Amino acid sequence: MFEEVTKSVRVLSASAVEKANSGHPGMPLGTADIGVALFKNELKISNKKPDWINRDRFVLSAGHGSMLLYSLLHLNGYDISIEDIKKFRQIGSKTAGHPEKDFNLGIDITTGPLGQGFATGVGLAVAESYLASVFGREIIDHYIFGIVSDGDLMEGISYEAAELAGVWELGKIIYFFDDNNISIDGKVDKVSITNQKLKFESLGWHVQEIDGHNENQILQSIKLAKQQVSKPSLIIAKTTIGKFSPNKENTSGVHGSPLGDEEFKLFLENIGWNGDPYEHRKEIYEYFEEKRNLDNSKVDKWYEILNKKLNEDEIFKELWAQFINNKISYENLDLKQTAATRVNGGKLLKKIGESNKFIIGGSADLAASTKQIISDNTYSSTNRNGQNLEFGIREHAMAAIVNGINLHSNIFAYGSTFLVFSDYMRPSIRLSSLMDLNSSFIFTHDSIYLGEDGPTHQPIEQLMSLRLIPNIDVIRPSNSIEIQHSYKYLFTKNNKTKVLVLTRQDLQYIDVQVSYEEFITGAYEIAKGKDLTLIATGSELHLAFQIRDVLSDKSVQIISAPILNKFQSNKNKNFTMNNLIFTLELGRSVGWKDYVGNITKSFSVETFGASAPEKDLVKHFEFEAEKIKVEILSFFD
């Protein structure tokens, strides 16, 4: 029966790609055996409770092979119908070209950019191990299965994440490597000589090599992998891409294009298919029924255990309530002193960590500089209970792992480094937003004023480029009550990715009053004035007050815009601006007009920085109140 079911998966996958005249048939045809074996025998998932927290996660890192997943979910009773299969890659369809996270459909993660699924899966495993240490194995105990490709393993992010998985001894990871030696441009061995077995063994992984079309070898490899409790597992499965396509199998031509009319007919003939490719015998569906019934009964049993613990264990009950409610307890600190916002922010984060068990995160070997340390209790292979994560110098993997932790359930996870290195993290930040995750990214050293490290470390375009990503809030507070509000908002569950940007240099405290509700509108009026308007973010709010002081004969309105991307929605609600509008921000000015509207002049930095002390940079880039005053007054002539 196994062969009949894999035949149905292959036919469904190839048919959908053919009907759409778009897609990647090769991978589903090559890995159908692995997929069927997993769903039939191993994956602990529930079609009645698809978002069950203790389900196994399935990461199709090779997301171009999405029809493999859709076919298996359809046959396993998830809410993906034959009509949905027929609408593969069409507008509004449940079956997008690459998997898009939808727990109700059984899709655990958005994948597509290669390497991202691999690395994000490591974050899922971190979350699993952390929650198991908090709640116990009777509540959280599951695996992260995945299928990864040559392309995933060639991307640098997978190497970074793989080493962390080895360091942290994440034995709940079991990845199948679809070793078919084919990529879009031909044979992989033209561009890669890596011995993946030796590489992963050197990274602390348990590695096996099997025939990816042999059911018994697939199942035995999983059994052996599960015995490796302190090592993540890579199962190198030798497969044939486009299997049963008589003229295209084992070629790059079957990777990313439909088979074509003639080849599709030959494929159906070769695989032994008669009749409508969208009509499959009831026995095919019944093949998975026993496993789904078993797993659905496990869900019921799990809730019995959960309710028993809630009734009998008061400490567990309090922790579970904090976890499920997903609301942090928060108290303001007295931070009315001259300090860098990274320093005051670090004090707040540490305080938050004392009373909120479900915030975890860390820095890419820069905790001493960013100051973003949630706890002195560090997560490790021997201490799964630690809230502080040490990522090493791995910004790429850090961002994806943060996504995986947030993706898992109700944990808030953050990652921290210098703002200029957000460029390394951008693909993961973008995917976080695409998945509507509450991932938080805390960046420090936010301007040229980090000083002597020079233009390689001084961010110029990063602030505005991050704002360009849809559905992300970029928060740049001044040293004021805005710091308190920023961290409260950072760990608010609103299905929105957040970026917090902090200074390296000290700033004087600004004693302004703004409610949290007004702060999160994005912009608010600090000082009234009828002659001109100054709009500033972060450290430049201090400069706005200095400019107001030297423009003593003018009436100056000051607006703080700590979340500039929200400015448009807030515009004209709480304040009216003057005809003369000037903006202040130590970065590129491109985009300001889109948020604010007509701008008289932006005082900004349009070139790379320079290596020099802060005081010299202030003069060099003419970010002095007196210099700016002269330019502003020229508009009154």
| Residues 286 and 396 grouped into a single domain | no
| Residues 109 and 237 grouped into a single domain | yes
Could you tell me which residues are beta bridge partners of residue 536?
Answer: 560, 584
Residue with tokens 């003018």: 554
Nearest to 138 by CA among 293, 306, 297: 306
| Residues 281 and 372 grouped into a single domain | no
Residue 476 within a domain: yes
| pLDDT over 90 at 332, yes or no | no
The predicted model gives 407-412 an average pLDDT of 97
Sign of the C-alpha dihedral computed for residues 387, 391, 395 and 399 taken in this order:
negative
- pLDDT on residue 422: 98
The predicted model gives 46-54 an average pLDDT of 98
Residue 303 within a domain: no
Host domain of residue 126: 2-295
| Residues 527 and 497 grouped into a single domain | no
Residue 128 within a domain: yes
Dist. CA 44–CA 141, nearest whole Å:
10
Buried b (16+ CB within 10 A) or exposed e, 508-540: ebbebebeeebbbbbbbbbeebeebbbbbbbbb
| pLDDT over 90 at 327, yes or no | no
Dist. CA 352–CA 317, nearest whole Å:
21
Of 295, 317, 352, which residue sits at a domain end?
Answer: 295
Dist. CA 417–CA 362, nearest whole Å:
9
Nearest to 212 by CA among 171, 246, 241: 241
- pLDDT on residue 331: 83
DSSP assignments along 305-371, one per residue: HHHHHHHH-HHHHHHHHHHHHT----------SSB-HHHHHHHHHHHHHHH-TTEEEEESS-HHHH-
Q: Which of 395, 482, 540, 585 is catalytic?
A: 395
- 3-class secondary-structure state, position 168: coil
Q: Is 244 left (phi over 0), alpha (psi -120 to 50) or beta?
A: left
Confidence of residue 571 (pLDDT cuts 50, 70, 90): low
Average pLDDT across the chain, whole number: 97
The predicted model gives 459-480 an average pLDDT of 98
Read off the tokens for 467. Answer: 């704002």
Read off the tokens for 261. Answer: 């009319």
Residues 164/203, Cβ–Cβ less than 8 Å: no
User: What tens digit of pLDDT does each residue of 348-375 get?
Assistant: 999 999 999 999 999 999 999 999 999 9
| Residues 494 and 536 grouped into a single domain | no
Within 10 angstroms of residue 192's Cβ, the number of other Cβ atoms is 14
Q: What is the CA radius of gyration of the chain?
A: 27
Residue with tokens 């891409």: 241
Nearest to 395 by CA among 360, 420, 358, 374: 420
Residue 434 within a domain: yes
Percent of the chain with pLDDT over 90: 97
User: What tens digit of pLDDT does each residue of 242-288 get?
Assistant: 999 999 999 999 999 999 999 999 999 999 999 999 999 999 999 99
- pLDDT on residue 572: 52
Confidence of residue 637 (pLDDT cuts 50, 70, 90): confident
- pLDDT on residue 63: 97
Nearest to 67 by CA among 27, 115, 106: 27
| Residues 288 and 361 grouped into a single domain | no
Residue 531 within a domain: yes
- 3-class secondary-structure state, position 76: coil
Read off the tokens for 479. Answer: 């040293």
Residue 443 main-chain phi, psi, to 5 deg: -110, 135
Q: How are strands ordered across the β-sheet holding 206-211?
A: 57-60, 144-149, 173-179, 233-238, 206-211
| pLDDT over 60 at 301, yes or no | yes
Dist. CA 112–CA 119, nearest whole Å:
12
**Does the annotation mark 331 as catalytic?**
no
| Residues 582 and 492 grouped into a single domain | no
The enclosing domain of 570 has a CATH number of 3.40.50.920
Residue with tokens 């496990």: 298
Residue 325 within a domain: no
The predicted model gives 196-223 an average pLDDT of 98
Residue 507 within a domain: no
| Residues 466 and 587 grouped into a single domain | no
Read off the tokens for 461. Answer: 């375009």
Residue with tokens 């609600």: 573
Residue 421 within a domain: yes
| Residues 236 and 379 grouped into a single domain | no
Distances (CA, A) of 204 to 75, 123, 342, 391: 36, 17, 35, 16
DSSP assignments along 433-495, one per residue: HHTT---EEEEE--SGGG-TT-TTT--SSHHHHHHTSTTEEEE---SSHHHHHHHHHHT--SS
Distances (CA, A) of 629 to 361, 374, 553, 583: 43, 42, 11, 13
Nearest to 513 by CA among 550, 482, 541: 482
The enclosing domain of 168 has a CATH number of 3.40.50.970
| Residues 57 and 146 grouped into a single domain | yes
Dist. CA 467–CA 294, nearest whole Å:
47
| Residues 602 and 480 grouped into a single domain | no
Residue 514 main-chain phi, psi, to 5 deg: -150, 135
Structural domain count of the chain: 3
Q: What angle separates helix 395-408 from helix 156-167, to the nearest 10 degrees?
A: 70
Strands 144-149 and 57-60, by their bridges, are parallel
| Residues 489 and 566 grouped into a single domain | no
